[in-house]
């Protein structure tokens, strides 16, 4: 299925006629666009185009279709499941130059952006408005890419994921039609939810060129806190009880002892190397104090130690930078390693059990495997550190992940909370949802892409 197809070189000439020097077949450019941050081997597109408008996307789609050439949309290449690998060759459609913020509607709390705008760029652009875009997967990904992978991250416990924060999309379909999936009203009951159908479709149903996203008011007060626990169980229980009490925490991240060790080494800090909860509170001055006090009590009841506050912006920033660096800090634990990332998400009532059973499983492994995640959503990651040249280690990593997915599914969880299916989780998704649901997805794929040209080999194989 994933053998590169015969590539019709006349496509390049047609693209050059359309786009001039915004077409590249150089090895360096193709290599840059043939990898993401996953452990999958590189898979290079035959040609890369750099587009600026929806109409150009349509024209390129029409050229590709007429030559039956695969097309792979590309943002900044930060995906984690091989989403943008050109496993059947074809045209990589780089959208990073579609980076215009088209409109900011302050009164309506929304913005319309081209797909190549990154989340940090948008937040910089709207800094003066008192509004912000909360979804934060760590990487400075594009809004188009974040939509396509249904991205999430540290703020999701309060602000939701891309599913809740995308209002409308402009999409180029495989047959060259351009649709707008919804109007800009805050809610609508008009027909089938085309917006949500494209959120998480990973480039396999159409190419997203514009995104209308919700913005949120920057709260009057924000504060963060760190708290250590003797065991991971206490940290998980703290978060469950906090959510049940209706306390609107904005972030709640769990880091295991090994992750804390990696962070201390990487950042030259002296945090306790024990399971640690990072929390953030948003609200009015009074409510933030109230929230944090309530959580501090809950943490104490669950064995929390050294509850520390960070109310000044620079302290908060330092804390969250440390969290965002966790992935890279962990890579330093083993020289020359790459990471196989896992991404299960379980109902939070099962989180402590799932984490504990996983820790027990990892104790058998020779590989270093830090664990961290978005505990308020029941979502956590293992960063399995492997020597990519070692077949034995790769097999061990896959086997750890496979057991983890089986464990999560047995607890009514999902194989992927936020990274997506891409190339690595098709079998897991079938186990998760069953043959009939996957067959329905395949029928949907066929409706939108009967010739299997839109990012083929991802999500559902045809």
For residue 357, state whether it binds a copy of itself (rule: CB under 8 A): no
Closer Cβ to a copy of itself, 15 or 111, answer by number: 111
For residue 455, state whether it binds a copy of itself (rule: CB under 8 A): no
Sign of the C-alpha dihedral, residues 184, 188, 192, 195?
A: positive
**Distance of closest approach, residue 433 Cβ to a copy of itself, in angstroms:** 7
Q: Which helix (H) or strand (E) holds 55?
A: helix 54-66
For residue 245, state whether it binds a copy of itself (rule: CB under 8 A): yes
Closer Cβ to a copy of itself, 71 or 292, answer by number: 292
Sole binder of a copy of itself in the list 235, 429, 453, 454 (CB under 8 A)? 429
d(Cα 117, Cα 146) in Å, to the nearest integer?
Answer: 10
Closer Cβ to a copy of itself, 250 or 333, answer by number: 250
Q: Map the footprint of a copy of itself across residues 110-139, applying CB under 8 A.
A: 110, 130
**Roughly how many angstroms between the first and final C-alpha of the chain, as a whole number?**
9
Smallest CA-to-CA distance from 387 within 325, 446, 336 is with 336
Closer Cβ to a copy of itself, 130 or 313, answer by number: 130
For residue 201, state whether it binds a copy of itself (rule: CB under 8 A): yes
Closer Cβ to a copy of itself, 85 or 460, answer by number: 460
How would you label 331-369 residue by residue, b for 16+ Cβ within 10 Å and e otherwise? bebbeebbbbbbbbbbebebbbebbebbbebbeeeebbb
CB-CB contact of 386 with 338 (8 Å): yes
**Distance of closest approach, residue 405 Cβ to a copy of itself, in angstroms:** 11
Q: Map the footprint of a copy of itself across residues 82-111, applying CB under 8 A.
A: 105-110
For residue 220, state whether it binds a copy of itself (rule: CB under 8 A): yes
CB-CB contact of 369 with 400 (8 Å): yes
**Distance of closest approach, residue 103 Cβ to a copy of itself, in angstroms:** 10
**Distance of closest approach, residue 425 Cβ to a copy of itself, in angstroms:** 7
Residue 137's CB is within 10 A of a number of other CB atoms, namely 24
Task: Quote the tokens at residue 323.
Answer: 């969290």
Side-chain half-sphere exposure of 111, counting CA atoms within 13 A:
26
For residue 410, state whether it binds a copy of itself (rule: CB under 8 A): no
Laid out side by side, the sheet with 338-341 consists of 304-310, 221-229, 276-283, 249-255, 371-374, 379-386, 338-341
Q: Map the footprint of a copy of itself across residues 258-297, applying CB under 8 A.
A: 283-284, 286-287, 290-291
How many residues are recorded in the chain? Answer: 462
For residue 149, state whether it binds a copy of itself (rule: CB under 8 A): yes
C-alpha distances out from residue 259 to 61, 92, 168, 365, 404, Å: 44, 36, 38, 17, 19
Window contacting a copy of itself (CB under 8 A); options: 9-17, 67-75, 210-218, 258-266: 210-218
Sole binder of a copy of itself in the list 218, 265, 305, 357 (CB under 8 A)? 218
Closer Cβ to a copy of itself, 108 or 361, answer by number: 108
Question: C-alpha angle 433/339/360, rounded to 5°?
Answer: 70
Closer Cβ to a copy of itself, 392 or 410, answer by number: 410
Q: Map the footprint of a copy of itself across residues 315-334, applying CB under 8 A.
A: none
Window contacting a copy of itself (CB under 8 A); options: 5-13, 53-61, 273-281, 442-450: 442-450
Burial (CB < 10 A; 0-12, 13-18, 19+), residue 403, is middle
Q: Map the footprint of a copy of itself across residues 165-184, applying CB under 8 A.
A: 173, 177-184
């Amino acid at each position: 299925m994933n053998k590169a197809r015969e590539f019709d070189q006349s496509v390049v000439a047609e693209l050059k006629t359309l786009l001039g020097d915004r077409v590249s077949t150089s090895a360096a450019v193709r290599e840059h666009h043939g990898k993401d941050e996953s452990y999958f081997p590189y898979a290079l597109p035959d040609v890369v185009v750099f587009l600026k408008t929806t109409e150009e996307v349509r024209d390129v789609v029409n050229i590709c279709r007429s030559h039956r050439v695969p097309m792979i949309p590309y943002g900044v290449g930060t995906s984690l499941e091989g989403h943008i690998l050109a496993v059947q060759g074809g045209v990589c459609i780089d959208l990073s130059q579609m980076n215009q913020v088209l409109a900011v509607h302050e009164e309506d709390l929304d913005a319309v952006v081209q797909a190549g705008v990154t989340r940090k760029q948008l937040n910089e652009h709207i800094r003066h408005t008192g509004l912000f875009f909360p979804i934060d997967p760590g990487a400075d990904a594009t809004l188009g890419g974040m939509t396509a992978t249904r991205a999430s991250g540290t703020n999701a416990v309060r602000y939701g994921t891309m599913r809740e924060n995308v209002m409308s999309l402009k999409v180029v379909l495989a047959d060259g039609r351009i649709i707008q999936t919804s109007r800009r009203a805050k809610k609508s009951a008009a027909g089938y939810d085309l917006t949500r159908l494209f959120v998480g479709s990973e480039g396999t149903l159409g190419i997203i060129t514009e995104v209308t996203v919700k913005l949120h008011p920057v709260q009057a007060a924000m504060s963060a806190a760190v708290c250590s626990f003797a065991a991971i169980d206490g940290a998980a229980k703290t978060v469950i009880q906090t959510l049940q009490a209706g306390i609107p925490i904005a972030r709640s991240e769990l880091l295991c002892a090994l992750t804390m060790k990696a962070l201390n080494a990487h950042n030259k800090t002296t945090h306790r190397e024990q399971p640690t909860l990072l929390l953030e509170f948003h609200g009015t001055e009074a409510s933030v104090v109230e929230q944090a006090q309530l959580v501090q009590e809950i943490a104490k009841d669950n064995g929390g130690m050294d509850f520390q506050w960070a109310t000044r912006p620079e302290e908060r920033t330092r804390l969250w930078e440390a969290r965002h660096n966790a992935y890279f800090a962990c890579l330093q634990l083993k020289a020359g390693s790459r990471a196989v990332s896992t991404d299960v998400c379980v109902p939070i009532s099962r989180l402590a059990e799932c984490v504990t059973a996983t820790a027990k499983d990892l104790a058998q492994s020779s590989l270093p495997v830090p664990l961290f995640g978005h505990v308020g959503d029941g979502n956590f990651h293992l960063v399995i550190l492997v020597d990519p040249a070692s077949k034995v280690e790769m097999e061990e990593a896959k086997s750890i992940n496979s057991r983890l997915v089986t464990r999560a599914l047995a607890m009514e969880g999902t194989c992927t909370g936020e990274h997506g299916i891409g190339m690595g989780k098709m079998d897991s998704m079938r186990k998760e949802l069953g043959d009939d649901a996957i067959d329905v997805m395949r029928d949907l794929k066929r409706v939108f892409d009967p010739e299997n040209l839109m990012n083929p080999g991802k999500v559902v194989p045809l």
